[in-house]
Amino acid sequence: MSSSSSPENGNDPETARRDRILSTKLYFDVPSSKVPVIYSSSYDISFLGIEKLHPFDSKKWRRVCQFLVAAGVLRKDQIVEPLEAKKNDLLVVHPQSYLDSLKNSLNVAKIIEVPPVAVFPHCIVKNKVQRPFRNQVGGTILAAKLAKERGWAINVGGGFHHCSAELGGGFCVYADISLCIHYAFVQLNISRVMIIDLDAHQGNGHEMDFAHDRRVYILDMFNPGIYPFDYEARRCIDQKVEVDSGTKTSEYLKKLEEALEIAATSYDPDLIVYNAGTDILDGDPLGLLKISAGGIAMRDEKVFKFARTRNIPIVMLTSGGYMKSSAKVIADSIENLSKQSLIDTGSSPG
């Protein structure tokens, strides 16, 4: 992986990276009255209606929490609010040159695939687009700490798996998965991480970042017939499972079970980062798969059981999902995890 931390005060890049990680404010103690479900109203994107030009539901994260509270899965005051990732936090993975490139509104517009953003001044784009993403990055990084302490954590946002250290794309501005893992290596005494990426799209960002890092095992189950067509990154996947357009629930779950069995005998991680995109949902205009809402709940249940039976802390990120119905599907799946006692939210959903 490209080094992102420039030497400071004569320090080598790895020492500078470690110093940044150890000085972060993104890790903080969370009272036991809170549950490891992470969300902030700052996640949501509102930009004069322009956000509607992208198929992504930019209020999805808020709606997930509203559904969870309405269902009695948790109370609003139990949700953990993260801090925004600042420049020093982002430099742990991203080089200064990449962060500088985000000061150009045209570059940001290309990454989030909303061309009109290019005409706005950087100060507006920074506040309306980049800040929500940086808050979600803070949530992903904190989630690893909470998972280590509680056994599990769910960041209701995050999962920007198309962004690598030096290149954003596909609505992914910052490499939150790579950042989360590097923080865990230094702060949590973790040395082996498994990424289980079940978003419909290939997770080419983290794959490029950890291409030659044997501390990270990547299981990526994706539709090869859709974006990003990153064949170089595909060579970096430890276990590649391709699911073609039109794949239905039963076939999908069978392939997942087989993949998890292989992963269990291939790698023994200290932490699982689970990228749980709902763009596999039947009808999603970008994922092109045909997985039912119940199938997504079963998928998530299988991954959490995989972690629980092996006593491995798990971080779940919501990632992609391009229909208005995605928020309810995510909330229903989290409610199912609670009913199955795979997570403990301290409440009793009906």
The answer to whether 162 is a known catalytic residue is yes
pLDDT classification of 49: cutoffs 50, 70, 90: low
Q: Given the structure tokens 């419909």, which residue do they identify?
A: 200
Among 88-102, 114-128, 144-158, 265-279, which stretch is predicted with the lowest mean pLDDT? 114-128
For range 243-264, the mean pLDDT: 99
pLDDT classification of 56: cutoffs 50, 70, 90: low
**Comparing C-alpha atoms, which of 22, 74, 16, 27 is closest to residue 331?**
74
* Residue 344 covered by a domain: no
Write the CATH number for 257: 3.40.800.20
Please spell the DSSP secondary structure of 159-182, one letter per residue. Answer: --TT--SS--BTTB-S-HHHHHHH
Report pLDDT for 266: 98
In whole angstroms, give the CA distance from residue 233 to residue 210. 10
pLDDT classification of 58: cutoffs 50, 70, 90: confident
Report pLDDT for 333: 99
In whole angstroms, give the CA distance from residue 91 to residue 93. 5
* Residue 13 covered by a domain: no
Q: Which of 162, 182, 201, 206 is catalytic?
A: 162
Q: Which domain holds residue 160?
A: 19-339
Report pLDDT for 45: 87
* Residue 215 covered by a domain: yes
Report pLDDT for 2: 42
Report pLDDT for 55: 61
Give how many domains the chain has, as a whole number: 1
Report the mean per-residue pLDDT for the chain: 94
* Residue 160 covered by a domain: yes
* Residue 3 covered by a domain: no
pLDDT classification of 42: cutoffs 50, 70, 90: very high
Q: Is the pLDDT of residue 100 over 50?
A: yes
pLDDT in tens, 186-235: 999 999 999 999 999 999 999 999 998 999 999 999 999 999 999 999 99
pLDDT classification of 244: cutoffs 50, 70, 90: very high
For range 38-63, the mean pLDDT: 80
* Residue 134 covered by a domain: yes
pLDDT in tens, 65-77: 999 999 999 999 9
* Residue 214 covered by a domain: yes
* Residue 111 covered by a domain: yes
Report pLDDT for 5: 46
Please spell the DSSP secondary structure of 285-327, one letter per residue. Answer: TTT--BB-HHHHHHHHHHHHHHHHHTT--EEEE-----STTHH
In percent, how much of the chain has pLDDT > 70? 93
Q: Is the pLDDT of residue 9 over 70?
A: no
- SS3 string, 43-112, reads HCCCCCCHHHHCCCCCCHHHHHHHHHHHCCCCCHHHCECCCCCCHHHHCCCCCHHHHHHCCCHHHHHHHH
pLDDT in tens, 269-319: 999 999 999 999 999 999 999 999 999 999 999 999 999 999 999 999 999
